[in-house]
């Protein structure tokens, strides 16, 4: 498959805290790719650097080294008008459905914003908004309502619709279901899969939860303290991981059987102790 997004030897450092403190490098030369129409799951614990990769792709943090290419074009240091133009092809769905929508705007106004930027006529925008609401499973009268009138899962559907509005080639999904309850998570994940099947959009799907990543991804990349430790097809990485860190992530997922849960907890502790003495 053709590579849509290519990240090569990406390095990102943040300023140190305090006077004369040295910068802290949080990504140490990360390389990955996302093919057209593919979902690459990027998984790791808090502080692993996974969100920083997404923010670098979106132009929200400045890389200190390496290169990011999108659709054959170097976008590593884009700024101004060029970055705004790229927003048509690269969109984002953030973690918090409560904070990512303007509470004073109707859903119709929220969805029309990216269309107005593109110069879409009012009549075409209204038709597109109706199409988007149907695509994410929301009623047609949702356009006239405010975000506070919807549940968390419904608000995340609005955020997904907003990302889809300009018909992007890639959506960066940054922990898009972690703020939702388990049943709502499953429905939203199935929505992501269905949308990809119908539109061919690619996802860089970021999560700390290996079960979530398994559900939506074609391939998985595991990040640990700014380095990639494992990558491969989703079924293999999420069921029979080779790296001890990925094994610990897998064992961290809760199960209903208390005996099995105790065994998994003990095995995870053993792997963590082993890593500490390595």
**Phi, psi (5° rounding) for residue 74?**
-70, 120
Spatial CA neighbour of 56 closest among 103, 114, 2, 14: 14
The span from the CA of 116 to the CA of 140, in Å, is: 20
Q: Which of 48-52, 99-103, 226-230, 268-272 has the least mean pLDDT?
A: 268-272
Contacts of 223 (CB under 8 A, 6+ apart): 30, 42, 43, 44, 48, 49, 50, 53, 229
Confidence of residue 257 (pLDDT cuts 50, 70, 90): low
Q: Give the containing element (helix H, strand E) for 203.
A: strand 202-207
What pLDDT sits at residue 264? Answer: 66
The pTM score is 0.89
Whole-number mean pLDDT of the chain? Answer: 89
The CA distance from 142 to 131, in Å, is: 12
pLDDT of residue 249: 85
Banded pLDDT at 31 (limits 50, 70, 90): very high
Among residues 24, 43, 44, 42, the alpha carbon closest in space to that of 33 is found at 42
For residues 63 and 81, what is the distance between their CA atoms, to the nearest angstrom?
19
pLDDT digits (tens, 9 = 90+) for 175-234: 999 888 888 889 999 999 999 999 999 999 999 999 899 999 999 999 999 999 999 999
Spatial contact of 26 and 225, defined as CB atoms under 8 Å apart? no
Task: For residue 80, name the pLDDT band (cuts at 50, 70, 90).
Answer: confident
Question: Considering only the top CATH level, what class is 1-89+167-241?
Answer: alpha beta
Strand partners, 30: 10
Query: Torsions phi, psi of 220, nearest 5?
Result: -130, 135
d(CA 46, CA 55) in angstroms, rounded, equals: 15
Residue 95 C-alpha from the chain's centroid:
8
User: pLDDT for 102-142, tens place per residue?
Assistant: 999 999 999 998 888 888 888 888 899 999 999 999 998 99
> pLDDT tier at 273 (50, 70, 90 boundaries)?
low
- Look at residue 278 in the predicted model and tell me its pLDDT: 44
- Percentage of residues of the chain with pLDDT beyond 70: 92
Domain spans of the chain, in order of start: 1-89+167-241, 101-165, 243-278
For the chain, the straight-line distance linking the first and the last C-alpha, in angstroms and rounded, comes to 38
């Amino acid at each position: 498959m053709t590579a849509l997004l290519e990240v090569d030897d990406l390095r990102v450092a943040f300023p140190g805290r305090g006077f004369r403190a040295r910068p802290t490098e949080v990504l140490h030369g990360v390389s990955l790719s996302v093919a057209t129409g593919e979902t690459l799951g990027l998984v790791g614990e808090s502080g692993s650097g996974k969100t920083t990769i997404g923010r670098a792709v979106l132009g929200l943090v400045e890389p200190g080294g390496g290169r990011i290419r999108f659709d054959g074009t170097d976008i590593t240091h884009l700024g101004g008008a060029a970055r705004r133009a790229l927003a048509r092809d690269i969109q984002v769905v953030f973690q918090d459905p409560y904070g990512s929508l303007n509470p004073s705007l109707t859903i119709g106004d929220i969805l029309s914003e990216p269309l107005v930027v593109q110069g879409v006529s009012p009549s075409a925008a209204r038709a597109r908004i109706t199409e988007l609401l149907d695509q994410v499973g929301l009623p047609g009268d949702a356009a006239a309502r405010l975000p506070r009138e919807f549940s968390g899962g419904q608000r995340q559907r609005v955020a997904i619709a907003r990302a889809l509005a300009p018909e992007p080639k890639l959506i960066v999904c940054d922990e898009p279901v972690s703020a939702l309850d388990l049943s709502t998570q499953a429905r939203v994940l199935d929505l992501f899969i269905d949308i990809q099947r119908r539109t061919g959009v690619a996802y860089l799907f970021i999560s700390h939860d290996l079960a979530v990543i398994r559900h939506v991804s074609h391939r998985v990349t595991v990040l640990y303290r700014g380095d990639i430790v494992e990558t491969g097809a989703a079924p293999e990485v999420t069921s029979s991981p080779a790296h001890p860190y990925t094994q610990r992530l897998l064992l961290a997922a809760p199960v209903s059987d208390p005996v099995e849960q105790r065994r998994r907890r003990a095995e995870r502790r053993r792997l963590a102790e082993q890593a500490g003495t390595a």
